[in-house]
Amino acid sequence: MKLIKLKSALILALIIITSCKKEEPVPGGNATSCEVISSDIITTTTLTNRVSDPNIADYCITEFISVREGAGLIIEPGVVIEFSNGAGIEVGTYGTSQANSGYIIADGISADKITFTGASKTPGSWRGIAISSTNSDSRNELDNCIIEYAGGQELKSGLLGFGLKTAVGVGFSSALQSGLISITNCIIRNNDGKGYSCRKGSGLNKFFNNKFENNTEEAVFMSVNGFGKLDPLSSFTGNGFDGFSQSTEFAVLEQIADTIHTWRGYQGKYSLSVGLRLVYNTAELHIQQGTELVVASGSLIHVREGLFTAIGVGATGQQRVVFKAETTGVGTWEGIYLESTQDNKVINADVNGGGSKIHTGTSAANITIGYRFGKIGKGTVTNCNLRYSGGCGLYVRTTSPTQRGDLTQSGNLYYGNVGSNICN
């Protein structure tokens, strides 16, 4: 009960903090038709609410235009922008200087959101909004906006760090650099493709109180290093995947950055399409109660160094941590492999469908406690449901009586595993 009250207080505080700006509707102007924009924006331009009739767009963008040369595109509350087939906006960097980059500020209010829509009200009728990989301008912002019916074709070429159909996308360069955008209080809906994407980075400055509805692919698609951005007020309904999905751009397990990462069980789920690896002593991944992870075939959670915890609450219900195989069956993903000597814990969790692979010196299992190069892997596994493993429920790697993983376990339930409950 105390936890529920604390969460409610936190959400209320967040709503108050984000509701401080002026919320009065902005009256429309006297224009009766849209103003056409067909060329790049190279001087700072402000788009105003020109038309009072909300059914008539204020501006019609007919080409895929760029905002560049240091120019800003500033969009006021209540503005409706309609895009022709194939049209869209790139907020880009040209040359090596950040001064050559443009920026976008679309700052609506709840009573008068800014709308980016297609001339045809069908998914995929325009391209989308692209933030170039080298554009890390902190002013880039979409607040109280509606982005709908985009995703008609790849936002930009894969060679430029895009190569995806998405309503809003941030590029990622070969120099391991991504652009930056804040998305807050927005509705991203009815797009053909992904709602938001960044192929290898996160690309997110701020992310809060957004609704993703009826996008044909993943709601959010990016590196797992950005999964901590999920907030308590964002929601996901009717998308190809309702939550944060790991980018598939990584040929091997994605490396977690050497900082503290917290994944929280809010309204969205998480999807691991490739898997992840902790390799730094200072890296920590904490998966909190109520979190559900959907794990693709062949994926692995590998804790070589650092600290890993997955701690739920209760015997049943939504407050447990759930690792769920994307493909129903026995042994469809590799499982959780703990080699770190730190105090790793999996408590009140359901781990289903692991054990698809036998690693060197081990057996397949839902959870493995390793022993590596003289280092004793450590793990506490209590009150977990360990089910449908392609091997054992738990495996403790042993090379000699004194060289074996350090497992503390109790209260676990086992069902449908190919091998024994606990192996070594």
Q: What is the pLDDT of residues 199-238, one digit of tens each?
A: 888 999 999 999 999 999 999 999 999 999 999 999 999 9
* b/e sequence 71-92, b meaning 16+ C-beta within 10 Å: bbbbbbbbbbbbbbeebbbbbb
- Statement: residue 2 has pLDDT above 80: no
- Could you give the CA distance from residue 256 to residue 124 in angstroms, rounded to a whole number? 34
Residue 263: beta bridge partners? 287
Within a 10 A sphere around the Cβ of 278, how many other Cβ atoms?
A: 28
- Candidate ranges 311-315, 358-362, 379-383; pick with highest mean pLDDT: 379-383
DSSP 24: P
Q: What is the CA 122 to chain-centroid distance, rounded? A: 25
Quote the tokens at residue 318: 């939504």
Mean pLDDT of the chain: 90
Hey, which bits of 162-240 come out as E strands?
Answer: 166-170, 181-184, 187-189, 194-198, 204-208, 211-213, 218-222, 235-237
Of 314, 317, 307, nearest in space to 282 by CA: 307
Query: What confidence tier does 424 reach under pLDDT thresholds 50, 70, 90?
Result: confident
Residue 20 CB partners (closer than 8 Å, separation 6+): none
- Report how far residue 66's alpha carbon sits from residue 94's, in angstroms, rounded to the nearest whole number: 10
In the block, tokens 């109280």 appear at 144
Give me the pLDDT at residue 296, please.
95
Structure tokens at 99: 């001064």
Model pLDDT, residue 1 = 42
pLDDT of 316: 72
Q: What is the pLDDT of residue 4?
A: 44
pLDDT of residue 12: 46
Token representation of residue 19: 């509701």
- Do 241 and 216 form a contact (C-beta atoms < 8 A)? no
* 22-48 pLDDT tens trace: 566 767 788 899 999 999 999 999 999
Q: Alpha carbon of 199 to those of 225, 270, 272: distances in Å?
A: 12, 16, 14
pLDDT of residue 30: 84
Contacts of 394 (CB under 8 A, 6+ apart): 365, 366, 367, 368, 369, 381, 386, 407, 409, 412, 421, 422, 423
pLDDT over threshold 80, residue 175: no
Q: What is the distance between the alpha carbons of residues 185 and 394, in angstroms, rounded to a whole number?
A: 43
Q: Is the dihedral of CA 227, 232, 235, 236 positive or negative?
A: positive
Confidence label for 6 from pLDDT (cuts 50, 70 and 90): very low
Average pLDDT over residues 99-103: 81
C-alpha to C-alpha distance for 233 and 166, rounded to whole angstroms: 22
- CA atoms within a 13 Å half-sphere pointing along the CA-CB vector of 305: 11
Q: How many angstroms separate the CA atoms of 161 and 132, rounded?
A: 8
Q: What is the pLDDT of residues 47-72, one digit of tens each?
A: 999 999 989 999 999 999 999 999 99
Nearest alpha-carbon partner for 156 in 199, 115, 186, 125? 199
> Any idea which of 2-11, 86-95, 110-119 has the lowest mean pLDDT?
2-11
Euclidean distance between CA atoms 375 and 334, whole angstroms: 22
pLDDT at 11 over 60: no
CA atoms within 13 A on the CB side of 262: 7
Cβ-Cβ contacts under 8 Å for 65 (sequence gap 6 or more): 37, 38, 39, 40, 41, 87, 88, 89, 90
Interval 229-277: pLDDT, tens: 999 999 999 999 999 999 988 767 999 999 999 999 898 999 999 999 9
More confident residue, 369 or 16: 369
Residue type for position 385: N
Give me the mean pLDDT over the 117-141 stretch.
95
What percent of the chain shows pLDDT beyond 70? 91
Which tops the pLDDT comparison, 248 or 13? 248
| Beta-bridge partner residues of 213 | 189, 237
As a whole number of angstroms, the distance between CA 377 and CA 338 comes to 6
Cα–Cα distances in angstroms (integers) from residue 81 to residues 19, 210, 356, in the given order:
25, 20, 49
Predicted confidence (pLDDT) at residue 163 exceeds the cutoff of 70: yes
Residue the block writes with tokens 């701020």: 206
